[in-house]
Amino acid sequence: MPRSSNTALADATLEAPPQPNLQVVVPRDGGPGGTVQSPPVSNARVAIAMFLVAESMFFAGLIGAYLVFRVGSVVWPPPGLPALPLGITWLNTIFLFASGVTMIQALRGIRRGDQRALRIGLAWTTALGAVFVAVQGYEWVQLLRHGLTASSGPYGSTFYTLIGTHAVHVVGAMGWVGYVAWMTHRGRYSARTHDGVEVCAVYWLYVCALWGILFWLVYH
Amino acid sequence: MMPRWLVLVVLLSCGAALFLGAGEAAAQGCAMCKTSLGGPGDPLSNGINASIFFMMSMPFVLFTVVGGWLTYMFRKHRPGTNTSEGVAPRPELKLLRAEREGAR
């Protein structure tokens, strides 16, 4: 009677030399072998870096267009159009940079596990951002009353495009901060897990730094 | 073989000669620019030059910043090197031999 294939396989397995089953074991939580290695850069950080690179190139295009008209004009601002208000914008710049400081304080708070510091920092950041946008809206109304519109030539169109785009980014960042505050209220973040706060803080600080460049470029 | 510093000097010199030599002909590279702009003294030509140089520099700036940041982060977290939190531990590898009968 011929032997079945299953029987032949079983015999071959029994006759084969023993093969060790090798496993790589990485002890967790401070075991004798150490801890699990986290990646050098988290996915969230890489994502926000790529996003900010794209944002930078977008604003570089707008600034490049502005430079064509600004450097290419003999007189700037053109005759008959109002100069941009410097004093109130300096004050507004201080408000926005202060919001950057409160965002850093919020981030430092959650890094040491202080939920209250995170909540207070986010609230101040949102409030100062809202003040910045409100003051800028007031400034725009005044400029429109003085005859500077988007159709007033390159001076008006580049101003409203550049500053308006930045204002939209500030409003978007405020929405993001609001979302982070809501997630904080739900207990999402801790001293160990707060990538959401970190990327939000990076974006907010980017918007603040971008304003510094635009303010120096457009208002001076 | 040339020493590394000499290679660096030669490369930098070639790059500087390339850019400095092309300064006079900036924004004159294409036919449209050449016909529509008034030359080096034209304000619009200066504006376009400034814009071109600014936008040309941005990819290099961004690449340097992001590349430098990634390099710093990877060097900082390399196992066995000093970090701000002390020496990063190397994960210990253990070889376990499963029981032959258990594996079945």
Q: What is the mean pLDDT of residues A43-64?
A: 95
Q: How many domains does chain B have?
A: 1
Structure tokens at A82: 């109002």
- Best A22, A24, A35, A71 member to test B by mutation, with max B CBs in 10 Å, is A71
Q: In 3-state terms, what secondary structure has residue B87?
A: strand
Per-residue pLDDT of chain B in tens (104 residues, 90 and over written 9): 678 888 889 999 988 887 776 655 555 567 777 777 777 678 888 888 889 999 999 999 999 999 999 999 999 887 655 555 555 555 555 555 555 555 54
Joined tokens for residue B71: 């390099």
Mean pLDDT score across all residues of chain A: 87
Task: Report pLDDT digits (tens) over A117-156.
Answer: 999 999 999 999 999 999 999 999 999 999 999 998 899 9
| A209/A155 Cα distance (integer angstroms) | 23
Assigned fold of A86-219? Four Helix Bundle (Hemerythrin (Met), subunit A) (1.20.120)
**CA-based nearest residue to B44, from A152, A162, A70:** A70
Residue B22 belongs to a domain: yes
pLDDT at residue B90, as a whole number: 55
Q: How far apart are CA A44 and CA A50, in angstroms?
A: 10
Burial label, B86 (beta-carbon count in 10 A; 0-12, 13-18, 19+): exposed
Rounded distance between C-alpha atoms, residue A94 and residue A39, angstroms: 37
Contacts of B62 in chain A (CB under 8 A): 53, 56-57
pLDDT of residue A18: 53
Model pTM score: 0.74
Residue B56 sits at the chain A interface (C-beta within 8 Å): no
| Distance of alpha carbon B9 from alpha carbon B2, whole angstroms | 11
Question: Which of chain A's residues have a Cβ under 8 Å away from the Cβ of B51?
Answer: 64-65, 67-68, 71
Structural domain includes residue B20: yes
In a domain, B29, yes or no: yes
Range of the domain at B39: 10-76
pLDDT of residue A35: 54
Residue where the block lists tokens 């970090």? B83
Average pLDDT score over residue span A71-91:
90
In this structure, which amino acid lies at residue B20? Answer: L
Residues of A in contact with B44 (CB under 8 A): 68, 72
Domain residue ranges of chain A, discontinuous segments joined by +: 86-219
Which is more confident, A6 or A200?
A: A200
